Amino acid sequence: MFQAKAYGAASAKSPLASTQIPRREPAEHDVQIEILFCGICHSDLHQVRNEWSGFMPTVYPCVPGHEIVGRVAKVGGAVKKLKAGDLAAVGCLVDSDRTCPSCQSGEEQFCPNMTLTYNSPDKHTGAVTYGGYSDSIVVDERFVLRVPSNLNLAGAAPLLCAGITTYSPMRHWGVTKGKKVGVVGLGGLGHMAVKIAHALGAHVVAFTTSPRKVEDALRLGADEVVVSRDASEMQKHAGSFNFILDCVSADHDINAYLNLLGRDGNLTLVGAPEKPLPVAAFNLIFGRRSLSGSPIGGLAETQEMLDFCGKHNITADVEVIPIQKVNEAYERLLKQDVKYRFSIDMASLKGE
Ligand code: NAP
Ligand code: ZN
């Protein structure tokens, strides 16, 4: 074991603060990564504040962060995929049972025994896993991704969650040229969804509650933008969408969006608000519409997404911050005041 520098929360009411955490020495199949950038996902905030206590109660201290890019510092003797000095990335998963049907089919995100990057039981230490708000992490090579060399690293970090979480359901539901696709909520996930849906060739309509984001949405690749508080603008799109991806982090009316789906249209929730969302049955019955959810993505698809983003030169629009500004960043996230992802420059941890 060695000690790593990190930022973590001691309780649901505590701010994140400088701390030290144990990391294992790399075993045969492990890769030790010096973390360069880590994105701030709204899930980090939900988890730090124990807002998902009913599904995933938070174990403290909690060191969040699952949008990790860095440089390989050391590898175990059996590692083939990477060597010291290579760029590497880690997303939301650091292990799974590797034997269940989901793992066998390369969809580790559905493994009942998956190990999340933070706040999961850690098989190696017996404690809990600690995430990327840290100067290093040690991960089995199977769960380490390659970063296309043309991508800006601060902007590539958010691909590891915001990128794959939006890419995966769009691939699953057949987002391609000729499809009309809605993206609800222009935050970290939503702005990635707009970029990816545009690159997949769809006609993209962005829905935002923030009129000041309209120009940006068009620049990011939306063909049309609707300020969702305007009921008549919403009504113009009634019954017309093939697919809508809902990326909203807080309570909102999903019936307003179900109504915009065409026949057999699907609305997928990736946003995970704290409270349940009511659904009017007739909004699904008419038009045989469906409502579903989607979690992150498996390893193979995450690599596919990274390569797709490399090919199309897609990264997140980031505001790079030092780790010392993380608590301020959380408050700004709640005010929808980020364009469009915070990416922590981990060099700022050196002075702690
Ligand atoms: P974010 O950057 O904070 O973006 C959320 C966006 O939702 C905001 O920018 C805002 O967009 C909209 N919004 C916020 N409050 C709203 C309200 N009260 N009513 C209507 N719209 C509102 O968050 P994020 O990091 O993208 O994450 C979004 C959600 O996805 C979170 O709940 C997160 O936990 C979840 N998530 C799920 C997965 C998964 O695997 N399914 C993975 C990662 C994250 P506008 O200003 O444009 O309205
Ligand atoms: Zn995330």
Residues 77 and 146: their CA atoms lie apart, in Å, by 19
What's the 93 CA to ligand 2 centre distance in angstroms? 11
Residues 181 and 189: their CA atoms lie apart, in Å, by 15
Residue 101's identity, in one-letter code, is: P
Residues 248 and 84: their CA atoms lie apart, in Å, by 39
Reported as a single tens digit per residue, the pLDDT across 29-79 is 999 999 999 999 999 999 999 999 999 999 999 999 999 999 999 999 999
Q: Which atom of ligand 1 is nearest to the CA of 191?
A: 26
3-state secondary structure of 131: coil
Residue whose Cα lies nearest atom 16 of ligand 1: it is 250
Reported as a single tens digit per residue, the pLDDT across 262-275 is 999 999 999 999 89
Reported as a single tens digit per residue, the pLDDT across 208-259 is 999 999 999 999 999 999 999 999 999 999 999 999 999 999 999 999 999 9
What is residue 303's DSSP assignment? H
Q: Which atom of ligand 1 is nearest to the CA of 109?
A: 40
Residues 46 and 55: their CA atoms lie apart, in Å, by 12
How many helices and strands (H and E) does the chain possess?
Answer: 11, 16
Determine whether the shortest distance from the Cβ of 46 to ligand 1 is under 6 A.
yes
pTM to 2 decimals?
A: 0.97
Determine whether the shortest distance from the Cβ of 272 to ligand 1 is under 6 A.
yes
Q: Is the pLDDT of residue 309 over 90?
A: yes
* Arithmetic mean of pLDDT, 91-102: 98
Q: Supply the pLDDT for residue 303.
A: 98
